[in-house]
A = this chain, B = another copy of it.
């Protein structure tokens, strides 16, 4: 990550506690059974997220940097190592759902052990130094990324149950740690996510030319991942982006017009994908011919009606691109998005861009084990910009580069119209 103004340790400890506590809270409304399954390889069990995020602090920080730290259980590293070749063997990704052990209680004890060690370290008189402080920050940002994944994985786990339960249905008294209405409503946090209405046709133009994108270091720069650096100039042609995301109503019009049946809108690999799709609609939608508009969808609150003006969600890159082709638009480049972002209503969906995930000119990955954090994935994926209601508070920023493979759609993904100016 780029250099950033570090928190002082006392602040850092408070922040550490707050972030770690939120992870715990996200799991609290669940039945313990919900923490274990892995319905598809890309969805990890919540229990695994609980263990992995603690392993990250242990393996990247405590074990190599904190003298006297006792590794909680040396046999666990292969269980909770996600993809770090430098950290030795690991359980195959698709087998995470087979791990009944360690049990949930043991994983919670692991979290407590790591948290106690981190607290002692942060409360100590020791000067931690820039490298350790940077790694702690990385661990916290990492924890926040997994909070978003935990929610989307959980939605997949619950949503693929034949009984399709709602998040929180087993523990009615437990307050939900996230603002669920935000999933389908047009507003989010400080961002002006004004969807639909008269403003739906509002386009924001940009004259093009040289713009700077990426994270710039500086005393007040704040945190950024290495893939957001270095800040650099890009030359853009004139363009326009729509202030609002594509709505369910707009997407239904695409479907009604035969969008899924017309090859001309699709990339060749998207068309292959469509032909094997069990159902031609966004993920979590369920056809119900007798109810207008013919579809309902599963949400964390259970199955419910589609809100026409809410932004469409859970679409693949193929679908986002085909929709835009049908509508006579295109997807934005990530540089276009970043250049106009101060004017956009964003934050409700991760927005597919037309930019392949590549290193910025002059990019250098983090040193040490963290080098594997981002750079080795810079191939065959597409960049998404924005954030979603599942993104933890304070984790979103305009330079953020999220990335997924074109067919994946279990994240809260959406569509931003773009066009030449």
A-side residues, CB < 8 A to B, are 31-39, 47, 75, 78-79, 83, 85-86, 91, 95, 97-104, 157-158, 160-163, 165, 170, 210, 232-237, 263-264, 266-271, 317, 354-356, 358-359, 361-362, 371, 376-380, 406, 420
Contact = CB atoms under 8 A, between A and B. Distances in A.
- Return the 3 tightest CB-CB contacts between A and B, nearest first: A356-B356, A235-B235, A85-B263
Copies of this chain assembled into the complex:
4
A302 to B, nearest CB: 12
Most buried by B among A100, A232, A267, A362: A100
Most buried by B among A31, A47, A234: A31
Contacts of A78: 162
11 contacts: A33-B104, A34-B100, A91-B162, A97-B97, A100-B161, A102-B163, A233-B235, A267-B376, A317-B379, A356-B358, A380-B380
A358 B362 contact: no
Contacts of A355: 358
Given A39-B95, A271-B85, A31 B101 contact: yes
A33 B37 CA distance: 10
B268 A83 contact: yes
A380 B269 contact: yes
A394 to B, nearest CB: 28
Nearest to A405: B380
A418 to B, nearest CB: 11
Contacts of A102: 163
A420 B232 CA distance: 14
Contacts of A31: 100-101, 103
Most buried by B among A234, A269, A361, A378: A361
Contacts of A354: 358-359
A307 to B, nearest CB: 26
Given A99-B161, A102-B163, A269-B379, 4 more contacts: A32-B103, A33-B103, A37-B97, A268-B379
A158 B98 CA distance: 9
Nearest to A79: B162
Nearest to A264: B371
A272 to B, nearest CB: 11
B75 A163 contact: yes
Contact of A362 (B33, B79, B271, B420): B420
A85 B268 CA distance: 10
Contact of A37 (B85, B98, B170): B98
Contact of A379 (B99, B267, B361): B267
